[in-house]
Amino acid sequence: MRRTFFILSAVLAALAVAPLATAGKPTQETISGPDDLVVSGECAFPVLMHVEGVGIITTFTDKKGNVVSQNFHFPNNKTVFTNLVTGESLTVATTGPAFFRLDPDGSSSFEITGISPWVGHPITGAGGIFLTQGRLFVTFDAGGNRTSIDFDGNVVDVCAQLAS
């Protein structure tokens, strides 16, 4: 897809910097939210995305020390979207949680529940800024290619909310 998922990118970045756990014992790490992001070209106006809060990552490993899953929780987090032309803003509680699982064959799955922000439509990849409300479950093959997606919930068009 030509669009990058906002929250998935943040989660994958956290995966890259999260320390490996001691074999078989889960570890927990607190990370700060992503830097402010000005999104241009997705709405008819530029949008500032500001995330307040922290993420808590719990990493689980197998007996060899290989990461097998990570749980992400975002207590009290909120995302503020601001139309940089009009100043109109929308504040949304974005508390997750999200779950990442890596299978022995290299395939993986990602599940996120609750309300989550996305740059690009999370199902179709169409342009825009969106919020998912509900459960989104995505599987990937060993090469990182999406193999399935299951969504039960609503998608809110943030651009439309900020345009009014």
- Is residue 15 pLDDT above 70, yes or no? no
Average pLDDT for the chain? 87
Rounded CA-CA distance 17/50 in Å is: 21
Which whole number is the average pLDDT over 66-89?
Answer: 95
Rounded CA-CA distance 62/52 in Å is: 33
pTM for the model stands at 0.78
% of residues, the chain, pLDDT over 90? 74
Q: Which of 119, 118, 112, 156 is nearest to 134 (CA)?
A: 112
Residue 3: pLDDT band with limits 50, 70, 90: very low
* Letter string b/e over residues 140-158, b meaning 16 or more CB atoms within 10 A of that residue's CB: beeeeeeeeeeeeeebbeb
Which whole number is the average pLDDT over 65-69?
Answer: 92
Which whole number is the average pLDDT over 25-53?
Answer: 94
Residue 149: pLDDT band with limits 50, 70, 90: very high
Rounded CA-CA distance 133/152 in Å is: 8
- Is residue 33 pLDDT above 90, yes or no? no
Residue 23: pLDDT band with limits 50, 70, 90: low
pLDDT of residue 18: 46
Q: How far is CA 118 from the centre of its chain?
A: 7
pLDDT of residue 164: 74
- Is residue 13 pLDDT above 80, yes or no? no
